[in-house]
Structure 1
């Protein structure tokens, strides 16, 4: 995604301490008995000697599982239907799940996503060892290409900081890029700054379906973006403060890049958009029409969602490029509440009719796939 402004002096520790609710911050690995000296790091999910199934692999950074790194377990988990159980700890590594490893499931053993963190610190402008830079896609801490991927109770993070790298202008730093169809995340956290959660697809012709339930996402610039058909249900989005800026906007929550042939893009339902920034300093969304697909028609519906004072209620949408104004895209709202949802200029806030809202549901967006029936 295009870069915006620079320098947000937030420490890496501060990033990892961020919680899914105000006043509820806990340290990563906050349960020391589980994370370091405990005898049962995998909780009710058993242990390497008492497996859930023969397809289960156990990951523990302290050496009490089958592997100490997530990527090593992914590499070993060939084929389809493999389960990884992750013990509490901070896994500082990049992880890639290729398209052959379908129907994989990752489980945070403690059932608290703050305990299990997969994190790295590449940005788009970070130099690669062999020359060049990583680019936005290459900056991802975790990349998932396989279909049927499910994750529960895990934090995916990118703790690259602008303030630590003033000479780098490519400040996009992805926590996770998800490209596979039928990808589901339950009770997960996604932490970063610019381009935190990249909800995408394998190609322009594939309308990958994704489902995010009871998740927490934070960032500043376009921190939920991409061309997937994605439903965000009961999720909390949190905009970060920016001490490097003196004027609004500080950033943008959502930046869909839906293919023009796709009838549906992003759906936010029963969500919450909070902020640590001053009032009205964030836009709710802007459309991304990438140079690789100038026929894109970004689609976003936000319904039954609480929008906090951090959102600019007068003008919640803006353009990423004047060549593709947001008014010509597919943005709409329905029955939102909160100070950021107040309608003072109706033309700036397109609303669905009650009849149109009947088709703006998770079932309509996801078709015959019902991931919420398997959620935890």
Structure 2
């Protein structure tokens, strides 16, 4: 079984020191351009995504041609306002892949894409971490910047696929995921950000067990009203019926004020979702210490009336929309109709 506790969210110095990899540019005139093309075969400005990120400035669009790109892509906080997009519009054509676990690389170091920049957009590509052992976190995406948009992306991993993290305390980042695909088995959508997952397919992997894992692990600070929202989405799996939990309560680092908030609404839930025990305890903390609820879901995994699946009222749900999760103090609204 996977561990029920987590190591602290710290990066290794070696990862940060080597984040910008030494690469060979095909040409050197792209640094001042507003558009940059990456192609592994040498037909673009650069052969690696990391080199293109290093050359980018605010407003730069990095178009990535079809292919598989190995190794971590690090988008530091200084690279705000850039776009990474697949060239074909088919997310499976462009694959950014890694195989590092947290146990050896640290949480940030394990992430195939480490995105710490605000106002970034990533679309039309796949991000995956192929490390699938049960002994460690292994992130596909670490989303650590505010006002990030992910559209038509595939996020694939096993344990802790996708982290939304704004740091300790009440600081919070916002991310919007739209018409995408997220895959994993254990706590694979997690963190303390204000994260909206909209019109997306969420697949739980089959571990061949009576416990086939947990979809979310929220650590929302008690001072923040909004945490993780899954809306207009489809939750599916080939796992046995009633073996997957919607989530569990992650008090990150044992913090008493990590009172996770998750709402699953207006979504279709497959038969793999537990009826009893849809929300689970974690590391000695009861799920009832967190803010978990559902609203207006359908499908064979929607509640049949068990007492441990809190349902939000319609009047309350009107205040828990995608727009409200993401608005913040600046009124940010990337939500698609």
Q: Structure 1 stretches of 5 or more lacking a match?
A: 5-47, 126-132, 163-168
CA distance, structure 2, for counterparts of residue 234 and residue 221 of structure 1: 21
Deviation at 1:135, TM superposition (A): 2.5
The counterpart of 1:192, out of the listed 147, 157, 167, is: 157
Q: Relative to total residues, which structure has the larger strand share, 1 or 2?
A: 2
SS of corresponding position for 2:47: coil
Give distance in 1, aligned partners of 2:255 and 2:267.
30
**8 Å CA contact retained: 2:219, 2:260:** yes
Aligned to 1:331: 292
User: Corresponding residue for 2:334?
Assistant: 371
1:161 Cα deviation after fit: 2.8
> What secondary structure sits across from 1:359 in the alignment?
coil
Match of 1:372, SS state, is: coil
- Alignment counterpart, residue 267 of structure 2, candidates 296, 300, 305: 305
Tell me the equivalent position of 1:344: 305
Deviations 1:84-103 (A, max 9, x none): 10001000111111111001
Q: Is 1:142 aligned to residue 113 of structure 2?
A: yes
Matches of 1:139 and 1:292, distance apart in 2: 22
Alpha carbons 1:180, 1:202 under 8 Å: kept: no
Cα distance, 1:204 vs. partner? 2.7
CA contact (8 A) 2:66 2:87 kept: yes
Of the candidates 113, 124, 146, which is equivalent to residue 181 of structure 1?
146
CA distance in 1, matches of 2:159, 2:187: 6
Q: CA deviation at 1:344?
A: 3.2
How far apart, CA to CA, are the structure 2 residues paired with 1:106 and 1:203?
Answer: 28
Report the equivalent of 1:18: none
1:17 matched residue in structure 2? none
Q: 1:314 aligns with which of 267, 272, 276?
A: 276
**Which of the numbers 218, 232, 235 marks the counterpart of 2:200?**
235
Q: CA RMSD in A?
A: 1.9
The SS at the match of 1:286 is: strand
Q: How does 1:1-376 map to 2 (within 5 A)?
A: 3=3, 54-77=33-56, 79-125=57-103, 133-162=104-133, 170-243=135-208, 247-291=209-253, 293-322=255-284, 324-345=285-306, 347-367=307-327, 368-372=331-335
Q: Specify the SS of the correspondent of 1:187.
A: strand
| TM-score normalised per structure 1 | 0.79
Pairwise CA distance, 1:299: 0.2
CA distance in 2, matches of 1:146, 1:92: 21
Within 2, Cα distance between the matches of 1:199 and 1:276? 26
Q: Structure 1 CA distance, aligned partners of 2:283 and 2:232?
A: 29
Bigger shift: residues 284-293 or 216-225: 284-293
Length-normalised TM-score, structure 2: 0.87
Which segments of structure 1 move beyond 4 Å, counting only runs of 4 or more?
none
SS in 1 for 2:324: helix
- Aligned partners of 2:97 and 2:232: how far apart in 1? 28
Partner of 1:217, secondary structure, is strand
The Cα of 1:146 is off from its aligned counterpart by 0.6
